[in-house]
Amino acid sequence: MKKILITGGAGFIAHHVIDKILSSTDWEIITLDRLDFSGNLNRLNEVVNTYPESERKRVRVIHHDLKAELNPEIIANIGKIDYISHLAAGSHVDRSISYPLEFVMDNVVGTAHILDYARKIDNLERFAYFSTDEVFGPAPSGINYKENDRYNSTNPYSATKAGAEELVVAYENTYGLPSIITHTMNVFGERQNVEKYIPMVIKKVRDNETVTVHANKEKTIAGSRHYIHAGDVADALLFLYNYDLSTIPEDKTGAKCQKFNIVGKDEIDNLELAQFIAKTQHKDLKYKMVDFHSSRPGHDLRYALDGTKMKNMGWEPESAFKRLESVVQWTLENDRWLIT
C-alpha cells in the first residue's frame, strides 16, 4: 500500500484531493496542517465521514506549522512516504498586499522546510508542488501562457508562489528530488470559503444583493478566468502520479523539473459567470461593473494558461458550466458554508 503526505489537507483544494484518493486508491493518507483560517477541519471531516470506518482509518491528521522545520518527532509520526503533495499556502491576494512578509514565511520558507524533509526520504517516488496561474501575471487578449513561459508576478502572493517554484526546481537539480510543478487556474467547488468569487456570488444572488463585477477602466469588459472544479484538479494530480514522465520529450532549454498547466475547459468572464449562477437560482442578476485596477491594485483582469500539454498526454477536465450548476445547488442546500 502506498502512502501520500498532503500538506494543507484541511484546505479547500486539498480536501478534494483526499476525497479523490479515498475513492480511487487504497493509499494511506497523512495530512500535515496547522488548522488556521484556510485549514478548516470540518471540510475534511465532512468528506471523510462519507466513507465506511475501514476507509476513514486511512486518513490521519498531524498538526504542524511549516514555518518551522519538521522535527524528529513529527517525522517519526509521519513514517515512510511514497508521494508528497504540497498544497499548504497562503493564498489570499488582498492579505498578501497588506502582509507580504507573512506570505514569504508561509509560501517560501514553508516550502523550503517541506523540501528539506523530502530530500532525505529514501525512494520517494514524486514530490508535487501546487503553484498558480498568477505567477505569469496578466494575460493580454489572445495570449495563453505555456508552462515554461516567463513569469511576471504582480502581487506578493504570486511572487512567493514563484519563489517557491524555484526552490522546487533547485532541489531537483541539486539533490535529484523527483519533482513536478502544477499551475492551476481558478478553482471552485463544494465547501469553498465564501470570500471567493463563486460562493460569494451564490450568496449575494440568494440574498438579492448586488454583485460587483471587476472590469476594465471603461467598465465594458469583465475580467475572465478558466474556471476548473477542484475534483478535476484532484483527478489531474492522480493522472500525473500515474503517468510515465520519462515519455515526455526533454525540454529544449535543459530544464529537468516538469511543469503542467491544469486548465479549465472554458474561459468565462465574471459577468457571464454571475449571470449563470443567477439563472441557476431562477433569479435576475443585480450587478455593477467597477474599474478593476483602481479598486483592486495588485490584481489582474485576465489570467489564461495553455492546457495543450496535459491534453496531449490524455487528460482534460469537464466543462465548468456542467460542474457549476451542481455546485450552486449543493451550496444552497448546505448553506452553512455561506456563513461569513
Same domain, 30 and 162: yes
Domain count, the chain: 2
pLDDT for 226-260, tens place per residue?
999 999 999 999 999 999 999 998 888 888 999 99
Asked whether residue 314 is domain-assigned, the answer is no
Instruction: Print the domain residue range for 296.
Output: 193-225+266-301+319-338
The pLDDT value recorded for residue 283 is 96
Q: Tell me the backbone φ, ψ of residue 22, rounded to 5 degrees.
A: -60, -40
The reply to whether 84 and 122 lie within a common domain is yes
Query: Are 177 and 282 within one domain?
Result: no
pLDDT band of 298, cuts 50, 70, 90: low
Cα separation, 29 vs 59, in Å, equals 5
Which grid coordinates are listed for 100? 507580504
CATH code assigned at 148: 3.40.50.720
Helix and strand totals (H; E) in the chain: 14, 13
Note whether 154 and 206 are same-domain residues.
Answer: no
Closest Cα partner for 127 from 183, 69, 180? 180
Q: Are residues 100 and 241 in the same domain?
A: yes
Give the separation between CA 277 and CA 236, rounded to whole angstroms.
26
Q: What are phi and psi of 10, to 5 degrees?
A: -90, 5
pLDDT given for residue 179 in this prediction: 97
CATH number (domain holding residue 332): 3.90.25.10
Does residue 55 belong to any structural domain of this protein? yes
Residue 228 CB coordination number (10 Å): 25
**Count of Cβ atoms closer than 10 Å to residue 27 Cβ:** 17
In this structure, the dihedral spanned by the alpha carbons of residues 320, 323, 329 and 333, taken in order and rounded to 10 degrees, is -120
Residue 296 pLDDT > 60, yes or no?
A: no
Per-residue pLDDT of 139-150, as tens digits, reads 998 999 999 999
- Whole-Å CA distances, 215 to 103, 134, 202, 265: 27, 18, 19, 22
In this structure, the answer to whether residues 257 and 280 fall within a common structural domain is no
For the beta carbon of residue 309, count every other beta carbon within 10 angstroms: 18
Region 316-332: mean pLDDT is: 94
Please, what is the angle between helix 110-118 and helix 156-175, to 10°? 20
Joined grid coordinates for residue 206: 440568494
Structural domain contains residue 285: yes
Residue 11 domain flag: yes
Q: Do 85 and 200 belong to one domain? A: no
Residue 92 pLDDT: 83
CA distance 301 to 189: 22
Q: Is 179 helix (H, G, I), strand (E, B) or coil?
A: strand
Residue 250 per-residue DSSP state? P
Residues 214 and 203 in one domain: yes
Matching residue, cell 489564461: 304
How many other C-beta atoms can be found within 10 angstroms of the C-beta atom of residue 312? Answer: 9
How big is the chain, counted in residues?
340
Q: Quick one: CA torsion of 111, 113, 114, 116, rounded to 10 degrees?
A: 120
What is the pLDDT of the chain when averaged over all its residues?
93
pTM recorded for the entire structure = 0.94
Task: List residues with catalytic annotation.
Answer: 133-134, 157
* 309 neighbors 262 (Cβ within 8 angstroms): no
Same domain, 49 and 149: yes
Q: Are 135 and 99 in contact (CB under 8 A)?
A: no
How large is the C-alpha radius of gyration of the chain? 20
User: Which pLDDT belongs to residue 297?
Assistant: 60
Is 307 part of any domain? no
In contact, 158 and 135? CB cutoff 8 Å: yes
CB 8 within 8 A of CB 36: no
